[in-house]
A and B are shown apart, each in its own frame.
Chain A
Amino acid sequence: MRRMKYITFIMIASMIAIGVGYAAWTQSIMVTQSVSAGELSVKVIGYGNPNGEMSTVPGQETNINYFDFIGDDQPPYLLQNLPCTEISLGGLNYCEIRTNGDVPYVDVGLRVPEDEDSITIFIEDAIPGMEFGYDVVMKNVGSVPVALTNPIYPAMYVGAGDDPDLANQLLEDGVIEFIYNYPSGAPDWMIARPDGNGGTIMMNVVCRINLSGNGEGGEVVLPENTSLEYEIHFIFEQDVDGNPGTEF
């Protein structure tokens, strides 16, 4: 008996030593949950047509759209086959497309930086009574569908320029107008799904400098030798299920 107690004691001591208890058995299963966020990202890829992917590449030619003098009898100037030139400004490389004499008296163009998430439109030697229209093709390079309303209501800010107050006044008085258009027949929401067909949105922007304003601001006109800047923000939203849009 004494021997049995000794053996039992030895077994219990061994089981304690190897970590096995008397309680009912349990098992733990570790689940590691990882959530990787997607990306909402839209880039400018070109101008003039939805397939203009290569138009921001130096050396490639592209179409901007048109330029017109208001009040003359001449047809608009079609801005086509303009070469993209690589330029460097402030340490960044840009694809620059400019008219370089294709339009008399005025030089207009567009500039897209390497990261392609903004556009700079410039009009040099602008005069009252002119209109400049450009098409911008944007591509959804993120992982979620994006949407932009139609009509477009961008946020508009006045940049530094020579006279921000005047720039704002010219807008309020209708001397300078910006008009945003989709291709005719576009739906209420323009949706670009990532990759594949329908990954682009094309938009037409018209900048018009009228000979005179709407009269509400008196005789405010575009002054000579003045630099004005405007910043236009197009807000792309994440497209959610049930959005009453049509893929474009």
Chain B
Amino acid sequence: MRNNKFFIGIIILSMMMMGAGYAAWTQGLIVNQSIDSGELMFEITAGVLSEEVVGGVAMPEPGYAEFDVSGDEVAGFSVTATDMYPGVVDTYWINAVNSSTMATKVTFDVRDLVDPDELDAEMLYVYTYTILDEDGVGTPVVNSTMSGFVAALEAEQIEPDHDVYIEISQEMPAELETHESAIFSYTAELTVHQFNAVPE
């Protein structure tokens, strides 16, 4: 009996000295998860490419018609052609650089004063876009209608550092009866989406 007390005393004393508790042990394994998000950014510029009369003749200076592209990517661009007359061809360009960290897709919301197809019928439009890679190489895609142009470009996936270069040429045809003092106008809003989140 004495010996038992002696051993228990030794054990308790040993455990007290080494600081061991009775609770079960646990260990935490730590996983640090860091997430750095990317960026969606397009840099858009626009300008006048040419103004001429049918046949490639340059518009005399000062011309009878005025053609201008103004604005910036924040405020939006305004393309105005005033005093056009049959035979005049205006061409402007828009360049959009995908400076995002991811691929993107674009959608257009065309708000019309004139239905796009009707506009295409009254005026002769040539819509050309080219997806340019990092080396500036790409194949032009040409459409004669706005709806065809929009559908084709909305299907494109634009990789980072690739450009979308657009040329839109508008001609008041000489052989069609057009309306003097008529106004043809529309607003096209371009929205950039990350490639896997394009609304239906």
Interface centre among A70, A105, A117, A129 (most CB of B within 10 A): A105
Q: Is the interface of B mostly helix, strand, loop or mixed?
A: mixed
A209 to B101, CA, bound (A): 16
Tell me whether A240 is interfacial, beta carbon within 8 Å. yes
Q: B37 contacts which of A37, A71, A223, A234 (Cβ < 8 Å)?
A: A223
Asked if residues A228 and B35 are in contact (CB atoms below 8 Å), the reply is: yes
Asked if residues A238 and B31 are in contact (CB atoms below 8 Å), the reply is: no
Tell me whether B20 is interfacial, beta carbon within 8 Å. yes
A72 to B160, CA, bound (A): 17
Asked if residues A31 and B7 are in contact (CB atoms below 8 Å), the reply is: yes
Asked if residues A105 and B37 are in contact (CB atoms below 8 Å), the reply is: no
Tell me whether A123 is interfacial, beta carbon within 8 Å. yes
Contact with A along B28-53 (1 / 0, CB 8 A): 11111111111110000000000000
Q: Known interface pairs A35-B20, A119-B32, A232-B30. Does A126 touch B25 (Cβ–Cβ under 8 Å)? A: no
Asked if residues A238 and B24 are in contact (CB atoms below 8 Å), the reply is: yes
Interface residue ranges of B143-200 to A (CB < 8 Å): 160, 194-197
Pick 7 A–B contacts, CB within 8 A, sort by A: A31-B6, A122-B34, A123-B33, A225-B37, A231-B30, A232-B32, A233-B30
Chain B interface residues toward A at CB < 8 A: 6-7, 10-11, 14-15, 18, 20, 24-40, 101-103, 160, 194-197
Chain A interface residues toward B at CB < 8 A: 31, 33-35, 37, 40-42, 44, 69-72, 104-106, 117-129, 136, 138, 142, 144, 146, 154-155, 159, 161, 176, 178, 205, 207, 209, 211, 222-238, 240
A121-B31, A227-B34 known; 9 new pairs, CB 8 Å cut-off, are A31-B7, A69-B196, A105-B160, A117-B30, A122-B35, A124-B36, A224-B38, A234-B28, A236-B28
